Amino acid sequence: MSKLFLPQSYVPVLNLRQTEKAVKQLKDFFESGLSSELSLRRVTAPLFVLKGTGINDDLNGVERPVAFPIKDMGEATAEVVHSLAKWKRMMLAEYHIETGYGLYTDMNAIRPDEELDNLHSIYVDQWDWELSITEENRSLDFLKKVVNKLYRILKRTEFFVYENYPDLNPQLPEEITFIHSEDLLAMYPDTAVKERERLITQQYGAVFIIGIGGYLSDGALHDGRAPDYDDWTSETTPGHKGLNGDILLWNPVLDCALEVSSMGIRVDKTALLRQLAIRHLESRKELMFHQKLLNGELPLSIGGGIGQSRLCMYFLKKAHIGETQASIWPKDMMEECKKHNILLV
């Protein structure tokens, strides 16, 4: 409850029935744009994967996956996915998807260690996407090019929502602003990371923060990233590292920066070995996914995840992610939300 933010005089623009309809319309429109803009084929995704294969996303390395034994497979353990960051890259190879094309899927995950608040749920729904690229594409310029494509989809989606629901006025700026996490630290050296994000996103409206996962000049991380999917150590510009980042949008309803996407150019063999060493996780080299990558069986790629419920939150101007998805919440949180016109589905 301590992290629940209750906007003063909050009145949802859409009622519950309208919201359910708008969520479906919004998701269909965005998904179509994502597929066409990035040349992505839709594929079916797993809800769980086998433990010990290295396929599951380890997030920050401390979050516990939901796991269960499989009776008809000798009690082998399956884990509910945290995300499909590594599985998608394997599917690029499995489907023999050519360079310049890719895939996307509806990803549903359970993250039981999330701290529940306006933005975080134990149920995660996102579009996971992955695009096959060339060696020449492993650059900061190409990363920015893809981010700009995603931002164009966001702009079109915002207008689509406005056309259908005129009370939901557009608020995205014309362009997204790029800034490196090291530059952000230099701008606000005595400020905590989340406050830095809030300040820069409030200033520009839409921001892509580059370089998430590597150590900054103060010895800290901007945020955690697993060492075996995003490349957060490659040299890109003098004094800067990282070929990944987060898309943040300013959310005036909650007076905060709203992260809607985490993405990046994926590790090649060199970056994988370097980042495993930095995290002291060299033992992962023996896992199935890592062996495939080290043996050259996986294509170079760029990919990411885009939060479905968070996008709906943003475009429908909701105060709680529970207004756009069905999940489980503490009883006292539900009661407080109801008192403040926040109707959880």
Beta 76-80 vs 48-50: how paired, if at all?
antiparallel
Query: Is 50 exceeded by the pLDDT of residue 118?
Result: yes
* Confidence tier at 276 by pLDDT (50, 70, 90): very high
pLDDT at 2 over 70: no
Q: Phi/psi class of residue 239: alpha, beta or left (left: φ > 0; alpha: ψ in -120 to 50)?
A: left
Of 246, 266, 310, 323, the active-site residue reads: 246
Q: What percent of the chain has pLDDT over 90?
A: 81
Can you tell me the mean pLDDT for 260-274?
Answer: 96
- In the chain, what is the straight-line distance between the N-terminal and C-terminal CA atoms, in Å? 18
Q: Residue 221 forms beta bridges with which residues?
A: 215
Report pLDDT for 85. Answer: 85
How far is 147 from 177, CA to CA, in rounded Å?
10
Mean pLDDT of 163-178: 97
183 is catalytic: no
Mean pLDDT (whole number) for 192-209: 97
Average of per-residue pLDDT across 2-28: 93
Q: Describe the crossing of helices 308-315 and 16-38 by its angle, rounded to 10 degrees.
A: 120
Identify whether 218 is a catalytic site residue: no
Percent share of the chain, pLDDT over 70 = 97
pLDDT mean over 131-138:
97
Band of the pLDDT at 238, cuts 50, 70, 90? low
Which range among 63-72, 162-171, 275-284 shows the weakest confidence by mean pLDDT?
63-72
**What is the maximal distance between C-alpha atoms in the chain?**
58
Residue with more model confidence, 149 or 110: 149
Is 136 annotated as catalytic?
no
- Arithmetic mean of pLDDT, 302-328: 96
pLDDT for residue 56:
79
Predicted pLDDT at 16? 92
**Per-residue pLDDT averaged across 337-342, rounded?**
94
pLDDT of 1 higher than 50: no
- Does the pLDDT value for residue 75 go beyond 50? yes
pLDDT value at position 37?
97
Question: Could you say which of 31, 57, 158, 231 is catalytic?
Answer: 57
Q: Taking residues 177-203, report their average pLDDT.
A: 96
Q: How far apart are CA 345 and CA 343, in angstroms?
A: 6
Write out 72-119 in H/E/C secondary structure: HHCCEEEEECCCCCCHHHHHHHHCCCCCCCEEEEEEEEECCCCCCCCC
The residue extents of the domains of the chain are 16-168+267-339
Fold of 16-168+267-339: BirA Bifunctional Protein; domain 2 (3.30.930)
Can you give the pLDDT at residue 237?
66
- pLDDT above 90: residue 82: no
Non-local (6+) Cβ contacts of 55 within 8 A are 49, 86, 87, 90, 288, 289
- Over range 71-94, report the average pLDDT: 91
State residue 321's pLDDT score: 97
Residue of 37, 223, 259, 336 with catalytic role: 259
Q: What is the pTM of this model?
A: 0.93
The pLDDT tens digits of the residues spanning 19-66 come to 999 999 999 999 999 999 999 999 999 999 888 888 877 766 677 888
Name the band, by pLDDT with cuts 50, 70 and 90, for residue 241.
confident
Active site residue 37: no
Active site residue 2: no
89, 111, 138, 310: the active-site residue: 111
Q: Which of 35, 121, 126, 327 is catalytic?
A: 126
User: Which 8-state DSSP code applies to residue 199?
Assistant: H
Residue 246 annotated to the active site: yes
